[in-house]
Amino acid sequence: MRLFSTDHKVVARQFLWAGLGFLLLGGLLALLIRWQWAYPGRPVPGLGWVLPESGGALTPPTYTGVFTMHGLLMVFFAIAPLLIGALGNFVIPLAVGARGMAFPRLTALSFWVFAAGGVLVLASFGVRLGTASAAWTSYPPLSTHVFTPGVGQTLVMLGVVCAAVSSFLGAVNYVVTVVRCRAPGMTWGRLPLTVWGLFLTSVLNLLFIPVVAAATGMLLLDRLTGTRFFLEGAAVVGGGDPLLYQHLFWLFGHPEVYILILPGWGMIGDFVAFFSRRPAHGYRGTVVAMSTVSALSGLVYAHHLFTSGLSPMLGRAFMTLTLVISLPSTVMFLNWMMTVWRGSVRLTAPMLAAVGAMGVFGLGGVTGLALGAVATDIPLHGTMWVVGHFHLTMGAASFLAVFAGLYFWFPKMFGRTLHAGWAKAHVLTSAVLFIAVFGGQLLTGYAGQLRRLYDPYQYTFLKHLLELNQWTSFAAFALGLAQGIFLVNLAWSLRKGPAADANPWQVGTLEWTCAPSPPPEDNYARVPVVVRGPHELSQPEGHERLGRDWIGQAELLPGEASRAAEGAEEPGSQVPSAGGAA
């Protein structure tokens, strides 16, 4: 693998390894938080060498840094690079029938800017006064030099700016590739839903990443140059306003939820069709629903500010918009279920992960309704209910979507086959434990436990939650251990996994039907000419003329060949496949 390659498949693998590394680090930090809530102040086994002064116990400042970096790493350095950087870079050009990204050098640049950000974030752990500790939102005045004077906070914010720039460059590339580089015949209505999800994510990234870049830029100016955009108080005459940062942050932050789940929604839409052996029910409706959610996502951000003194009039408007977003989401959900209904369902690992993502996202969505309505948000705001809700949507659903995508495209990405049994065991245990962990958080939040508390049991009314928190922590530790199944399977399959077939899932999209596993550097021997949609499954003509239940997107049926010969376009070239789903 060339280090500075501009091949989108190589860059996708670079994002994959970097994202998995940060996922491991962010996950370990999560386990530390869970340890603290299960055994407050007790030394963490094996951590004595890192924290010798406290004998391995988390002190309040260390704990603050731990939960801050857990959130930042997971959002900016794990989910985004895995779901968008790795799967997006790998899938988009192949699925639209392009020989590569529109701007190959930009592809490589987006990874290396991300890597620079990662280095800055890792370096922050080693500086005096420690890493960032103003939570993942970096709200001022907590994140200004007054309250977090160490260089760690500055390094992390610079790292976030790098991650933002990387996402922006990637988004430009994705949008231009989808708009300009589609294969002949690949109309918008023939795009796989995964590509739609990644395209809409990129549009949201383009619109809202600059907003967080501006907010973080002004915050950095406040920290480093003496400006006062967000600081006010007795010492500053005519100072700025910390609430301004909240507006800017959530104008980005709420769409970020959809940025991190839209690719997953697209994958779910494709996978339920592929593995139910049925065309996606309501393809257009699903695309319109995803687009509507994307459009609404920028108009609902102020529900995060219901308790910040927002005008009640505005609160009512934002509540309405927030609740309206559940309508297109429901359309999408129903379409997925209708696709599965009476289908010939194959419970492969990608299908199980997709169904798991549907389930946890549904639970996260329903619990989010309580946070979208002013009356119920006020008592729940700032509690563990919020933590449980957004972990189900942004954490569990996104990671299950990552695993669904990775299990699905692994054979194409590496030319080897993962162990199917281990993959299914990993997905099932992860899905169950995700619900246990984040369900536990919802319960403690409903009981009134505030988020981010170092020792919740200092409050008498929370003492009885110790046992529930301990069980939740045990589930979290088990979830961490379950990821070992994935790591072992990954390592084993990369070295000794059987060679992958060109089309092991027996589906019709271009990457599986027109390119070997793994594809060559320029993807296709000949650019395919697309003649049909991505979900041509269980069609009578396919059974009759081909003797199988799927038809390739660039595949002409025997009767269609003569019609195509009259036109100017040549039919697409199919790669041979022995079939056999893992």
Partner 1 sequence: MTTGEAPAPAAREAAGTAWFGVVVGLGAWGMFFASLAFSVGYLRMREPWPLAGMPPLPVILPAVGVLLLGTAGALLHVGGRGARVTLCLLGALGALVGSLAVQGFVLSTLWSAGLKLPQGGAYASAVYGLGALHGAHVAAGVVGLVRELVRGARGAEVRGAASLWALYGDFLAVTGLVLFAAVYLP
At residue 315, what is the residue type? G
Minimum gap (Å) between residue 217 Cβ and partner 1: 6
Minimum gap (Å) between residue 202 Cβ and partner 1: 10
Sign of CA dihedral 47, 49, 51, 52: positive
Minimum gap (Å) between residue 214 Cβ and partner 1: 4
Is the Cβ of residue 104 or residue 518 nearer to partner 1 in the bound state? 104
Is the Cβ of residue 82 or residue 213 nearer to partner 1 in the bound state? 213
Give the N- to C-terminal CA distance of the chain in Å, as an integer.
27
CB 388 within 8 A of CB 475: no
Tell me whether the omega of the peptide bond preceding residue 518 falls within 30 degrees of 0, making it cis: yes
Is the Cβ of residue 245 or residue 550 nearer to partner 1 in the bound state? 245
Helices (H), 228-307: 242-259, 262-274, 283-297
Minimum gap (Å) between residue 569 Cβ and partner 1: 16
Is the Cβ of residue 176 or residue 288 nearer to partner 1 in the bound state? 176
Q: What is the CA radius of gyration of the chain?
A: 24
Instruction: Give the phi and the psi of residue 418 in degrees, each rounded to 5.
Output: -75, 160
Helix axes 262-274, 349-372, angle to 10 degrees: 140
d(CA 500, CA 291): 35
CB 489 within 8 A of CB 423: yes
d(CA 424, CA 557): 35
Minimum gap (Å) between residue 12 Cβ and partner 1: 20
Q: Tell me how far CA of residue 580 lies from CA of 94, 270, 279, 505, 507, in angstroms.
A: 21, 19, 20, 7, 11
Minimum gap (Å) between residue 205 Cβ and partner 1: 8
Is the Cβ of residue 104 or residue 359 nearer to partner 1 in the bound state? 104
d(CA 331, CA 97): 29
167 alpha-carbon distance from chain centroid: 12
Is the Cβ of residue 56 or residue 104 nearer to partner 1 in the bound state? 104
Minimum gap (Å) between residue 304 Cβ and partner 1: 17
Minimum gap (Å) between residue 523 Cβ and partner 1: 17
At residue 454, the 3 state secondary structure works out as: coil
Among 472, 473, 507, 527, which Cα is nearest to 582's? 507
Count of CB atoms within 10 A of residue 121's CB?
27
Is the Cβ of residue 66 or residue 198 nearer to partner 1 in the bound state? 198
Is the Cβ of residue 96 or residue 218 nearer to partner 1 in the bound state? 218
Question: Any idea what the Cα angle at residue 434 is, between residues 431 and 435, rounded to 5°?
Answer: 90
Minimum gap (Å) between residue 124 Cβ and partner 1: 24
CB 430 within 8 A of CB 483: yes
Is the Cβ of residue 221 or residue 288 nearer to partner 1 in the bound state? 221
- Identify the H or E element spanning 481: helix 466-496
Is the Cβ of residue 5 or residue 227 nearer to partner 1 in the bound state? 227
CB 396 within 8 A of CB 387: no
Contact residues toward partner 1 (CB under 8 A) are 102-103, 168, 171-173, 175-176, 179-181, 206-208, 210-211, 213-215, 217-218, 221-222, 225-229, 232, 236-241, 244, 247-248, 251
Is the Cβ of residue 223 or residue 416 nearer to partner 1 in the bound state? 223
Helix axes 193-225, 262-274, angle to 10 degrees: 160
Among 375, 493, 489, 360, which Cα is nearest to 433's? 360
Minimum gap (Å) between residue 526 Cβ and partner 1: 16
Count of CB atoms within 10 A of residue 571's CB?
17
Minimum gap (Å) between residue 285 Cβ and partner 1: 27
Minimum gap (Å) between residue 184 Cβ and partner 1: 13
Is the Cβ of residue 252 or residue 274 nearer to partner 1 in the bound state? 252
d(CA 483, CA 426): 7
Minimum gap (Å) between residue 100 Cβ and partner 1: 12
Is the Cβ of residue 84 or residue 433 nearer to partner 1 in the bound state? 84
At residue 363, the 3 state secondary structure works out as: helix
Structure tokens at 61: 């400042």
